[in-house]
Amino acid sequence: MGTRVPQRISVGTEMSSAPEATLDYSTPAERENLERVDDLYQKVIDKKNLDAADEFFGAGFVQHNPLYGEGVAGFKRFVGDFFLGTFPDLTATVDLAVCQNDRVLAHIHWAGHDESGREFELWTADLYRFQDGRAVEHWDVIEYTELVPWGPARPGGPRPRGEFDLNGTPAQLANLDLLTQVAQNVPLQDLSRAHEYFAEDFFQHDRMIRHGLDGFKECCNNFLHLAPDMVVDPRHVVVGSHIVGTIWDWKGHKPGSDVEVVLVNSDCYRIEDGKFTEHWPVVDYTSAIEAYGYHPKDLFQKESS
């Protein structure tokens, strides 16, 4: 099952007593894009209405996940045949979302049961590019290891990358600069400057990782057990006023071999006072499981025991 703790969305910075994530936007247009993503999952998945998908996707919609097929027709077919066909009570909740201009990166919590009553839980990170109020392009990160019991496997082939958007508010561009500094100055193999960028009380939304700066360092060291030469290869970055969202590959090689290990990640970080203070991950561990024959969560649990 997924290792995240589900959140509940609140608009802007409003919070309640229940655990909540934040919709991070800087302009009315960005807020509209965020609301379109939330409406998509409510109307199509929660209300089981495939025809409602037509109002959310533009002509020539480009789908970068071959599992879905092409265009809106492929989206409707896969969602109908697999997701809604397999899990009659399925819900898909926007757990966290950040918008920069025409792009929205959202972390989605999927939950339900199949017809035998077996529980299903999944996390995805979905990146949409909007034009004239409709999604015209889509990329994602999926915890494919959670899909395997029901059939779908991670498709092969390259994962396209996007250019960083260098347009935004001063806060957005400052957050992009901070992320760039972290990527340059805190490689996994040398965490000596991590305290400059990560708060001592760094909060994790992953049950496998301890809270705090020390927990962050333990997590990085566990990844180095999988691949000592592991580096981070950014593919997409979406920066908000206080949240930065990424889709990137953490990749290296199994020790003593040329077997490549690629962890496909979406990591979102809250920034306060110039430091990362909170972290939400979506990770596909398929490559590591294929290379080692076990789930990396077993390594995390062993190291923390």
The per-residue pLDDT for 200 is 96
Identity of the residue numbered 170:
P
- For the segment 174-185, the average pLDDT, to the nearest whole number, is 95
Identity of the residue numbered 13:
T
Beta strands at 243-253 and 231-239: parallel, antiparallel or unpaired = antiparallel
The per-residue pLDDT for 139 is 96
Around Cβ 287, how many Cβ atoms within 10 Å?
A: 22
Model pTM score: 0.91
- End-to-end alpha carbon distance in the chain: 20
- For the segment 159-164, the average pLDDT, to the nearest whole number, is 82
- For the segment 74-79, the average pLDDT, to the nearest whole number, is 96
- For the segment 111-126, the average pLDDT, to the nearest whole number, is 96
What integer best gives the mean pLDDT of the chain? 89
Asked whether residue 198 carries a pLDDT value surpassing 50, the answer given is yes
Query: pLDDT digit string (tens) for 229-261?
Result: 999 999 999 999 999 999 999 999 999 999 999
225 token code pair: 């057990």
Q: How is residue 114 annotated by DSSP?
A: -
Q: Name every residue whose Cβ is closer than 8 Å to that of residue 187 and which is 6 or more positions away in sequence.
A: 231
Name the percent of the chain lying above pLDDT 70.
91
CA–CA distance, 119 with 135 (Å, rounded to integer): 31
Identity of the residue numbered 217:
K
- For the segment 290-295, the average pLDDT, to the nearest whole number, is 88
pLDDT band at 162 (very low <50, low <70, confident <90, very high): confident
Asked whether residue 195 carries a pLDDT value surpassing 90, the answer given is yes
- For the segment 272-295, the average pLDDT, to the nearest whole number, is 93
Q: How is residue 41 annotated by DSSP?
A: I
The residue ranking higher by pLDDT, 304 or 244, is 244
CA 286, chain centre distance (Å): 15
The residue ranking higher by pLDDT, 163 or 91, is 91
The per-residue pLDDT for 20 is 61
Q: Of 9, 69, 65, 72, which is closest to residue 39 (Cα–Cα)?
A: 9
Query: pLDDT digit string (tens) for 20-70?
Result: 657 899 999 999 999 999 999 999 999 999 999 999 999 899 999 999 999
Q: Of 176, 174, 181, 175, which is closest to residue 163 (Cα–Cα)?
A: 176
pLDDT band at 19 (very low <50, low <70, confident <90, very high): very low
